[in-house]
Amino acid sequence: MSQPIVLGIETSCDETAIGIVQGRTLLANVIASSVEEHARFGGVVPEIASRAHLEAMMPSIENALIDSKLSLSDIDAVAVTAGPGLVGALLVGVASASGLALGLGKPLYGVNHLAAHVSVDFLTHDQPLDPTIALLVSGGHSSLLQVDDITQTITKLGATMDDAAGEAFDKIARVMQLGFPGGPAIDSLAKSGNATAINFPRGLTTSQDWETRPFDFSFSGLKTAVARYLESTPGYAKADVAASFQESVVDVLMLKAIAACKESGINSLVIAGGVAANSRLRAVATERCERAGIRLRIPSPALCTDNGAMVAALGSLMVAAGRSPSPTAFDADSGLPVTTVAL
């Protein structure tokens, strides 16, 4: 099956997302977000997310089929995020995908959310995806990965030791009363600020850190430094704080990503996850990778945040590579390690 049609279901957090792909071609990408229901709490409430997934699942599948001009009988395989994520939210997706695959008599692939973020590059670039270094940055994850085979061989080089990059954006935005989610708000505000106005710390970049934890991240110290600055500086310039905070995050992410490329000898870097939509990260990554002779690939902003297309893309790659489907019944795993690409 050289061009399988795969339907992907993503429910790891607050987006009910359905994607349909045929080979490298994206046919549908429907997202029903419950972010407005969480905004007043300043973060995602798991129970609210799970209920929203239940309500949005069938309409989202139907809309994806309409967009793709297909019927369920045209689907060759079903893929679903099995983890990591919020366990209640994941269970809605896994149960829906299991029932759909069983009813259609089609293979089911329970795939890793993090690997799926990297796989979405498959839909936007013609060159082979692997081997590559992948910088995965989102609200729940900040990881550096070595991807030798996206369908089965991923090595974790480093990860965040506390807050993820996107989580730090949300927390600082909340302190500055910029709303939720914080990433887009800070990105927008920072465009009118001075990124060198405040010298915020760069976590895990001392000489000892480079020796012992070269590819790990830490943003809790940065978050604390920003909070203390805000407390001690009445009348602070919001745009300067946003720009300086953002610059610290971006600087650390790119320092470590390029170091991973150089140490591994792999001159390809994929940046994925919600934070990959950040305009400053995209600009700095382009500049530094060009200078270092590293081929950079970043999905379009619409494919950086959680979506069903990335799950379908990984499912398509699994089918094309001849990987065995998942068991008929499997559990969602909220802590599924990235080294487990599929169940």
Measuring CA to CA, which residue among 14, 9, 6 is closest to residue 68? 6
- 3-class secondary-structure state, position 138: coil
Domains of the chain: 5-121+304-320 (3.30.420.40), 130-298 (3.30.420.40)
Q: What is the pLDDT of residue 157?
A: 98
Is residue 214 within 8 A of residue 133, CB to CB? The reply is no
Q: What is the pLDDT of residue 315?
A: 97
10-residue mean pLDDT profile of the chain (343 residues): values are 88 95 96 79 81 95 98 97 96 97 97 96 86 93 95 96 93 93 95 98 96 96 96 96 98 98 97 96 98 96 95 96 93 94 95
Q: What is the pLDDT of residue 2?
A: 62
β-strand partners of 28: 20
Model pLDDT for residues 180-224, shown as the tens digit of each residue = 889 999 999 999 999 999 999 999 999 999 999 999 999 999 999
β-strand partners of 149: 153
pTM for the model stands at: 0.94
Model pLDDT for residues 308-324, shown as the tens digit of each residue = 999 999 999 999 999 99
Q: What angle do CA 193, 304, 98 make, to 5 degrees?
A: 150
Burial code (b: 16+ CB inside 10 Å, e: under 16) for 67-99 equals ebebeeeebbbbbbbbbbbbbbbbbbbbbbbbe
- Could you give the residue ranges of the DSSP H alpha helices within 105-181? 113-119, 165-175
Q: What is the pLDDT of residue 1?
A: 47
Question: Looking at residue 14, what DSSP letter applies?
Answer: S
Is residue 117 within 8 A of residue 274, CB to CB? The reply is no
Q: What is the pLDDT of residue 126?
A: 82
